[in-house]
Amino acid sequence: MFNFCEKAIEIADRHKVDFGDIRIIKKREQNLSVKNGEIGNFNNSTTLGFGVRILLNGAWGFASSDILSIKEIEKTTLLAINIAKASSLLKNREVRLAKEPVYKDLWQTPFIIDPFEISIENKFNLLFKIDSILRKKSEIKASVSSMNFISEHQYHMTTEGSSIEQILLTSGAGYTATAILNNEVQVRSYPSTHGGQALSMGYELIESLKLLENAEKTRDEAIALLKAPQCPQGELDLIIGGNQLALQIHESVGHATELDRVLGYEESYAGSSFATMEKLGKFHYGSDIINLVADSTVPGGLATIGYDDDGVKAQRWDIVKNGILKGYMTNREFARNIKEKRSKGANRADGYNSIPITRISNLSLMPGKYDLDDLIKEVKNGIIMENNKSWSIDQRRLNFQFGCEIGWLIKNGKIKSMIKNPVYQGITPAFWNSCDGICNEKHWKLWGVSNCGKGQPAQTAMMSHGNSPSRFRKVKIGVKH
Amino acid sequence: MNSHKAMPGAVSRRYAHQTAKAMPGAVSRTMSIKTAKKICAEIFKITKGTQTEVIITSQESALTRFSDNIISQNISNTDTDISIRLVKNGKMSKVTFNQSSSSEIKKAAQNAFYLLKNQKKSGALGLLKPSGPIAEKENLFFKKTAEISPAFKALKIKNFAKKCKTAKQVCYGTMENGCIKTTVANNLGIHLSHKESHVTYDITVKDKDGFGWAGQSANNIASVDFDKIEKIAALKARLAKKPISIKTGKYTVILEPAAVADFLIFMNIFGFGGQPYTEGQSFISGKIGKKVLSDKISIYDNALDGPSAGMPFDFEGVPRKKLVLIEKGVAKTAAHDRKTSLKAKTKNTGHSLPVPNIYGPFPLNTLVSPGKTSVDDMIKQTSKGILITRFHYINILKPLNLELTGMTRNGTYLIENGKIKKSVKNMRFTESIVNALNNVVCVGDKTISMSSWWKTSVPALKIKNFNFSSSTEF
């Protein structure tokens, strides 16, 4: 494939571009699901294509094609050059990229079992077994169980001389049971919502999830929720972990610290950020125990890579340290805006046909010192919420409201009754500053987010957020109607 | 405030004619419908004897994005997807690929056969024979729109950025154009094709601490009034400066069309979708023929003509017809495909998405019937209320009553004694859309076409007792 890449680089060099690169990507994807006792989805897809990025006269152009031939590479590279020329008609500064060493390397996601070698029959057998357990009780009116596998083989070459080959693999699985009775709809999911758990691993992930073993409990909790009392309203202590805390990190820290948003480049669509650059190194994002670390090297992370799509080697860095804002997600274009000589390597595209944009890397809340029992014991009047159901946050990432699948009331240090429709809301810095307890590393786990939308045209990225259950004091619970 | 007088929607052909002549077009790189037909024939030859469906979509999108009064991103994509679905004896397999050489087609078909062989029987429905003529009444493909050049877009945006700079404002947004060609065919005789072009101009203007938005999507660039859109966004931003905080609670609101369109998207998925309907998760489940919304509300789906026109057949090759979903507040039907219509013991309305999928059918071309009240009059008739330009980041809390939450964005204003008084800091609503559409005071006299996930055409709505649950800092 690199011989095709060389053609684009040759044309880019001939046109004396400031920078140019080409990514050829071969992607294989398998999506299987069983819905209400029937095949819900069964797709096996393979795509091949390339995207050329050109920086010329200090302005960007990008063009892609799914026809892989020397002629098409020529045509597409020239189109990207023309687009860059058009972009240069309206600029107020020259785009200059932060320096990065030249690499010639091959990087691959480590895995044990190739998911594409497991037979379709075995995969569907497992999904149908789960489905039959979920639908064993009549209150369950809808069930979905699914598995998804993605393999991406990338070839990246730059005019600076880098040639990077990467083979990335992700696997995921999960299920949801929906119980309906007398105008009440309740759902429970396992191991988490929004398609389940996904990580950069092989089929060994699916085998480790204990999917069958947890189906009965998931189903019965969905049914129990139908008759559970409603979530109370008021200021209560809140304990969250798992995929709910992962999404809290994602929405209120991850997106808020994408430097392109901070600079206003997403203003018209995804929004901007309250975490503006003058706050760097000073702003109390959270309480002293809050340490949020971005890490493109953490094993299993959905954003774990060898190199980003700027050709920057994977790194680990602080976003919030001891409660203070310490860093951003950066790319080579914007790193200089915060006076950094080198990008952190957070520029990623969702395929050959997308231009790389600043993305949340794996971003995790570092563990604290608590055991879960002790965290709960110190709560007089509170609530535990689990598994995200709905999420919404304003365009500067301040006002948020999250709904979860299930909650349990805590009274005087003990877990009491189950409640339904739990919702909490807050303002980002106040919320993270109210955190006074984080569970230790025994409870820490990485959770995948595989549906992060951003950019125009819309792109979907994947990343992971590690956390352990954490306690937040006096949070607004419930919604006033 | 006069901005609502200048809402996008009126047709201005003057500018489009000038630009089309002035700028060279980009050449479309999409696969022709003729080539798609050849590929279908090649596949059917390989799969002879087994029921085979082929769906080919070939699309091109060119998008220029701007922020801070400069072009920040400029791209052009071309993509073709080919899917082969085989069905035999209740078993089904599907493969998708994007390489159209004979060797790749053969490899994909062989893979589909392998998967079919190793598949369990799962009640897969056989493919359909042609079920009647397709009425494609309206041309939705305009070459000049599909092939707008990057230079044209750059100059257009440059001109707007210049105006913004002069007014000490900052512009952000996108101008996007392209086309999509779709072929749905099977070896039982269905062979249908559709193509349409599209253009979207979507802008946000910042004026100190005020933000304003305006935008429009169309199949034909001649329908887009760029000047009008720019003026609205600029005016909205100017009027949005120095926003004040107001108490949360229930207010009378005037939702401009973009805000109403956001609601309609959720109604389409969770309310009118055949699957939630048959599962009992929709607000119209078990309520066909009953009054579920205000009698001022009528909603229908029409892919054949009018402002939401689109592909006149579904992804199983069933002709689409105009479908009345809500008539004067009374639930008439959900949108069905074969599977959900069998479950609901009703007619297939021709709303299948590509099969198989876990979402079921949706209406993709919805319209809310206009009323008789202009937005100006809505404001004049409001003693206290809030005018909302659009929403941000809406999500669903409860499907049965469509309880949603989301933020206001880019133009929220307090109305007092029939006039816009102040700009308001953004607020979070948490409200059942079923309740809200039972509290409609009046309906706007003009509909605006919006194209986000799919096409909607909606008027403004004035609604009483709309619940705001919290607010933010800007």
B313-336: pLDDT as tens digits: 999 999 999 999 999 999 999 999
Nearest-CB residue to B73 (from A121, A267, A355) = A355
Of A198, A227, A256, the residue that ends a domain is: A227
Q: How many domains does chain A have?
A: 2
> CB–CB of B77 and A63 under 8 A?
yes
> CB–CB of A83 and B281 under 8 A?
no
CB-based contact A360:A258 (threshold 8 Å): yes
Chain A residue with minimum CA distance to B283: A183
State the DSSP code for A254.
Answer: I
Whether A182 and A281 map to the same domain: the answer is no
pLDDT for the residue B4: 33
pLDDT for the residue B323: 97
> CB–CB of A90 and B66 under 8 A?
yes
pLDDT for the residue B19: 35
> CB–CB of B393 and A41 under 8 A?
no
Q: Has residue B2 got a pLDDT over 50?
A: no
- CATH classification at residue B192: 3.30.2290.10
Whether A180 and A294 map to the same domain: the answer is no
pLDDT for the residue A10: 98
Q: Has residue B155 got a pLDDT over 60?
A: yes
Q: Which of the two residues, A181 and B14, has the higher pLDDT score?
A: A181
Whether A139 and A241 map to the same domain: the answer is no
Contacts of A85 in chain B (CB under 8 A): 151
B283 part of a folded domain: no
pLDDT for the residue B29: 80
Per-residue pLDDT averaged across A240-244, rounded? Answer: 96
Whether A200 and A281 map to the same domain: the answer is no
Whether A211 and A264 map to the same domain: the answer is no
Q: Is B119 on the interface with A (CB under 8 A)?
A: yes
B398 part of a folded domain: no
**Boundaries of domain holding B40:** 3-237
B384 part of a folded domain: no
Per-residue pLDDT averaged across B282-304, rounded? Answer: 97
Whether A187 and A269 map to the same domain: the answer is no
> CB–CB of B120 and A141 under 8 A?
no
Whether A319 and A461 map to the same domain: the answer is yes
pLDDT for the residue B453: 67
Residue A3 exposed, middle or buried by CB count within 10 Å (0-12, 13-18, 19+): exposed
B175 part of a folded domain: yes
Of A192, A227, A262, the residue that ends a domain is: A227
pLDDT tens-digit map of B54-94: 999 999 999 999 999 999 999 999 999 999 999 999 999 99
Q: What percent of chain B has pLDDT over 70?
A: 93
pLDDT tens-digit map of B138-148: 899 999 999 99
Q: Is A481 on the interface with B (CB under 8 A)?
A: yes
> CB–CB of B149 and A86 under 8 A?
yes
The neighbouring-strand residues paired with A317 are A294
Chain B residue with minimum CA distance to A142: B279
State the DSSP code for A115.
Answer: G
Q: Is A70 on the interface with B (CB under 8 A)?
A: no
What is the number of residues in chain A?
481
Count of CB pairs separated by less than 8 Å, A with B = 255
Q: How many domains does chain B have?
A: 1
Q: Has residue B200 got a pLDDT over 80?
A: yes
Distance in Å, alpha carbon of B135 to nearest chain A alpha carbon: 30
Quote the mean pLDDT of chain B: 91
Chain A residue with minimum CA distance to B474: A396
Distance in Å, alpha carbon of A479 to nearest chain B alpha carbon: 6
How far apart CA B429 and CA B446 sit, in angstroms, is: 25
State the DSSP code for B10.
Answer: B
> CB–CB of B428 and A394 under 8 A?
yes
ipTM of the complex: 0.93
Whether A403 and A329 map to the same domain: the answer is yes
Of A227, A247, A262, the residue that ends a domain is: A227
Name the least confident of A135-144, A213-222, B157-166, B452-461: B452-461
pLDDT for the residue B13: 27
Whether A216 and A287 map to the same domain: the answer is no
> CB–CB of B395 and A391 under 8 A?
yes
Whether A157 and A287 map to the same domain: the answer is no
B255 part of a folded domain: no
pLDDT tens-digit map of A162-193: 999 999 999 999 999 999 998 899 999 999 99
Q: Has residue A2 got a pLDDT over 50?
A: yes
Confidence tier at B452 by pLDDT (50, 70, 90) = low
pLDDT for the residue A184: 92
B297 part of a folded domain: no
Whether A307 and A353 map to the same domain: the answer is yes
**Boundaries of domain holding A190:** 2-227
B59 part of a folded domain: yes
- A228 contact partners, CB below 8 Å, separation of at least 6: A417, A418, A419, A420
Quote the mean pLDDT of chain A: 97
How far apart CA A162 and CA A100 sit, in angstroms, is: 10
For testing the chain B interface, which of A24, A90, A117, A260 should be mutated: the one with the most B CBs within 10 Å?
Answer: A90
- CATH classification at residue A89: 3.30.2290.10
Per-residue pLDDT averaged across A278-290, rounded? Answer: 98
Nearest-CB residue to B154 (from A68, A86, A184) = A86
Contacts of A235 in chain B (CB under 8 A): none
Distance in Å, alpha carbon of A333 to nearest chain B alpha carbon: 11
Whether A171 and A240 map to the same domain: the answer is no
- B60 contact partners, CB below 8 Å, separation of at least 6: B28, B29, B30, B76, B77, B78, B79, B146, B178, B179, B180
Using alpha carbons, select from B174, B273, B171, B259 the residue that is nearest to residue B224.
Answer: B174
B323 part of a folded domain: no
Q: Has residue A103 got a pLDDT over 50?
A: yes
CA distances from A38 to A146, B95, B124 (A): 12, 18, 8
